[in-house]
Amino acid sequence: MTTQEEKTRRAELIAAASRLFKEQGYERTTVRDLAQAVGMQSGSLFYHFRTKEEMLVAVMAAGIGDLTDRLEEALGQAKTPMDKLRTVCRVHLDTLLGDDKGALSVLLYEWPSLSDKARAELIKLRDSYERDWQQVLDEAAAAGLVHEDTRLLRKVLLGGLHWTIMWYRPEGGGTPSDLADRILELIIRKK
Amino acid sequence: MTTQEEKTRRAELIAAASRLFKEQGYERTTVRDLAQAVGMQSGSLFYHFRTKEEMLVAVMAAGIGDLTDRLEEALGQAKTPMDKLRTVCRVHLDTLLGDDKGALSVLLYEWPSLSDKARAELIKLRDSYERDWQQVLDEAAAAGLVHEDTRLLRKVLLGGLHWTIMWYRPEGGGTPSDLADRILELIIRKK
Amino acid sequence: MTTQEEKTRRAELIAAASRLFKEQGYERTTVRDLAQAVGMQSGSLFYHFRTKEEMLVAVMAAGIGDLTDRLEEALGQAKTPMDKLRTVCRVHLDTLLGDDKGALSVLLYEWPSLSDKARAELIKLRDSYERDWQQVLDEAAAAGLVHEDTRLLRKVLLGGLHWTIMWYRPEGGGTPSDLADRILELIIRKK
Amino acid sequence: MTTQEEKTRRAELIAAASRLFKEQGYERTTVRDLAQAVGMQSGSLFYHFRTKEEMLVAVMAAGIGDLTDRLEEALGQAKTPMDKLRTVCRVHLDTLLGDDKGALSVLLYEWPSLSDKARAELIKLRDSYERDWQQVLDEAAAAGLVHEDTRLLRKVLLGGLHWTIMWYRPEGGGTPSDLADRILELIIRKK
DNA sequence: GATGAATGAGATTTCATTCAT
DNA sequence: CATGAATGAAATCTCATTCAT
């Protein structure tokens, strides 16, 4: 029960932090902003998290964990290399640009705000996500769908997708999935 | 003479700010850090710049201005669409990853730190740079070298290039120009 | 209880600020002075007041509010026009020159230190006090006690009273009430 | 010649300081404001005045000196006690409220900004002015025009006149001389 | 006489964090 | 679990003043 509520409160906090860190940036978001967003006093936050950075880490970990989960679930239903390729791109943009809290964009753009220690922890999670991507790209390359330098392709394509957050506007820009498909077109080799 | 020295001092300050903002981020760099880097007292900074943000803007304006200059000069010597394509990518990565002060990476990654007013000023400069890119991509598409959705391609390719700063390491990664060529390969259509 | 303590702490701060602003002037009083006077760190002040100016406004509002309260209470016990006339003068000088914290003299002499916004808020309070004066003077004029240009008289007499703070010395100067009576003599017509 | 120009420059500075100290207050006026108002750099001020306070003293001394001069000249032409009474009031308000630079109001309202040492110097000048007033009031009392407690009357009347600067507005308020006459009415005994 | 650059002390304010209740 | 108050270090910025040129 207590644990239940604890989980709830923590989750609320992480959701609020995601949103605020995304909107205003980590450094510019104060502990008071965070507390106010969930209706508590700033001192109370420190019952749930030991430091502000711990909140940032929690947001990021939730972001990357959630993303990986979504990806693996979606990949389970994709059969062909082409299907899988489409899936990785769509899931990435749906998560990044969809109207969820924004944990993924915090992960990307507040990376330099992390201390070295915190970074190490998160790198593992990120690597696991990128491993999934790597597999999909390798299969696609084997099928002649994309350039065979898949390690480079992974980094560049992910970079291109990440950057969409700087310019994508839902109004008149199509859905994130549409955009993912159009971007994929740019790097697909003719069959 | 006076103007000369003024330029020198201001330029020194901008160079130091570029470096520090890149290394530590804008928010985490204090005016004391900045002052110390050029050997003055923190109060003296404000003789040259009215606010810390004004320094950020100066760094960014210098970064994008310098980049545009370099690009236009280099494009003057490029003849074919393919040459031009290679040029825009190379100049971009040389500037971003080369061992200069890092003004360009500050421009990219501290964009959210700007006030709306400051942003407006810089958008003009950025647009001018992107217009050059657009022309090159349009020519390349006309020659069948790249996908014809050049507006999207511009954004995605630039995003991919921008992101290299997150993972590129000079040791064993080839030169920035090499990397530019390899990235270009990923989106070039067969001739 | 909490409210009680809150009130206490805030009141302490206002009292200290009254004294210091009176003694040294608003601009020359630092927040460190203020904090030290109540035994806290300078940063802690900003838990209670958002800015230094907010403290000035609080001092002034307390000063004028207190003065109006005293006046209205005292007027309740005055019967004749002459009694009332004596009352307004006495209350004014007792408050201004009496050994309370000095909020009223801060109100008078730091008026130009206020921002326009803050001033507007206080003008209402001041007007309410001057309305009480106006009534008393009007009654006195009707009774032939003072010159009938009561609006001018109000301003000039109040000015004369305000200015006493520049020269009144308790030692050998009589009490503030005595002084009030003597000043009143200067403008009384008919006995 | 040099002395001539020196005088000119100094006078310019004092005039500008009068105006700025009156408009913004002494503490809120920066040395840069002052310098800019006469078209020089802030460092150059210190050739003419050793400190900022020295400028304040110069403004005040000029203010009180000028006032005394005007008064003594005007008194020379006044014959009767009543004439003289009118003269002291008119000269005072003309100088205080007239559209000159405002040195007199600076004298009155920035008095607390002075260091003790500077104050001592100015007190002499002020006393000389008040002695002139005292004589006029004494004559007037002897003639039965005003209350015989002339020392108190001097202080209170001067206070009332000083305070006009807080509320007098040229538009629709009559001239300063008119106002002086009306104020005089308030304290004149029946003829 | 004047300037431009710098100084350096100090101002207000911010904010993550602590802790008694 | 939460609060309200406070801490204290540090941040940006201000400004009278100095001084070499």
Handedness of CA C168, C172, C178, C181 (dihedral sign): negative
Residues 3-22 in B having a C-beta less than 7 A from any atom of strand F are none
B153, A187, B76, B134 alpha-carbon torsion, rounded to 10°: -10
Burial letters C33-72, b for 16+ CB under 10 A, else e: bbbebbebeeeebeebbeebeebbbbbbbbbbeebbeebe
Say whether the CB atom of D53 is under 7 angstroms from strand F. Answer: yes
Q: At residue A191, does pLDDT exceed 80? A: no
Task: Report the alpha-carbon distance of residue B54 to residue B36 in Å, rounded.
Answer: 18
How far is A29 from A45, CA to CA, in rounded Å?
Answer: 14
- Kindly indicate the confidence band of residue B172, based on its pLDDT and cuts at 50, 70 and 90: confident
Contact of B157 with chain A, judged by CB distance below 8 Å, is answered with: yes
For residue C111, the 8-state DSSP code is G
* Helix-strand-coil split of chain B, %, nearest 5: 75, 0, 25
Give the nearest chain D residue to C179 (CA atoms): D152
- Chain-wide mean pLDDT for chain D? 93
Tens digit of each residue's pLDDT (9 = 90 or more) over D6-40: 678 899 999 999 999 999 999 999 999 999 999 99
pLDDT tens per residue across span D86-120 = 999 999 999 999 877 799 999 999 999 999 999 99
Distance C50 CA to F2 C1' (A): 24
pLDDT band at D123 (very low <50, low <70, confident <90, very high): very high
Chain D CB within 8 Å of residue C109 CB? yes
CA C125 to C1' E13, in angstroms, rounded, equals 29
Is residue B190's pLDDT more than 70? no
Partner-chain residue, chosen from D111, D113, D156, that has the shortest CB–CB distance to C160? D156
Average pLDDT, chain A: 92
Structural domains in chain B plus CATH codes: 52-187 (1.10.357.10)
CA–CA min distance D173, chain C (Å): 11
- pLDDT at residue D124 in the model: 93
- Which C residues 41-60 have CB within 7 Å of strand E? 42-43, 45-46, 50-53
Torsion of the alpha carbons at B89, B90, B91 and B95, rounded to the nearest 10 = 110
CA distance D1 to chain C (A): 41
- pLDDT for the residue C127: 95
For residue D162, list chain C residues with Cβ-Cβ distance below 8 A.
159, 163
- Find the mean pLDDT for residues B156-170: 96
Longest alpha-carbon distance in chain C = 59
The residue ranges of chain C whose pLDDT is under 50 are: 1-3
Residue D159, pLDDT > 70, answer yes
Q: Which residue of C has its CA nearest to D157?
A: C160
**CB-based contact, D182 to chain C, within 8 Å:** yes
Chain-chain contact of A163 with B155 (C-beta, under 8 angstroms) = yes
pLDDT in tens, B41-56: 999 999 999 999 999 9
pLDDT at A4 over 90: no
**pLDDT, position D101:** 77
What's the pLDDT at A1?
Answer: 41
As a whole number, mean pLDDT of residues B82-100 equals: 94
B55 CA: distance to closest CA in chain A (Å): 18
Q: Is D25 on the interface with C (CB under 8 A)?
A: yes
Burial (Cβ within 10 Å: 0-12, 13-18, ≥19) of residue C146 = buried
Q: Which residues contact A140 (CB under 8 A, 6 or more apart)?
A: A81, A82, A84, A85, A146, A150
More confident residue, C119 or A2: C119
Residue B146: what pLDDT? 96
CB A103 within 8 A of CB A59: yes
- Report long-range pairs for A111-119 (Cβ below 8 Å, ≥24 apart): A111/B166, A112/B25, A112/B109, A113/A26, A113/A27, A113/A53, A113/A56, A113/B25, A113/B28, A114/A53, A114/A56, A114/A57, A114/A60, A115/A53, A118/A53, A118/A56, A118/A57
Per the CB < 8 A criterion, the answer to whether D82 and D190 are in contact is no
Q: Does the distance separating the beta carbons of B109 and A166 come in below 8 Å?
A: no
Say which nucleotide is closest to residue A46, CA to C1' distance.
E17
Alpha-carbon distance of D152 to A55, in angstroms, equals 70
Split at pLDDT 50, 70, 90, the class of B1 is very low
**Does position D165 have pLDDT exceeding 90, yes or no?**
yes
* Cβ pair D183:C152 closer than 8 A: yes
DSSP letter, residue C165: G
Confidence label for A121 from pLDDT (cuts 50, 70 and 90) = confident
Residue D1: pLDDT band (50, 70, 90) is: very low
B5 pLDDT more than 70:
no
Mean pLDDT score, A29-43: 94
pLDDT in tens, C124-168: 999 999 999 999 999 999 999 999 999 999 999 999 999 999 999
pLDDT greater than 80 at residue A100: no
What pLDDT, on the 0 to 100 scale, is given for residue D191?
54
User: Is D178 a residue whose pLDDT tops 80?
Assistant: yes
Is residue D140 over pLDDT 60? yes
B185 contact residues in A (CB cutoff 8 A): 147, 149
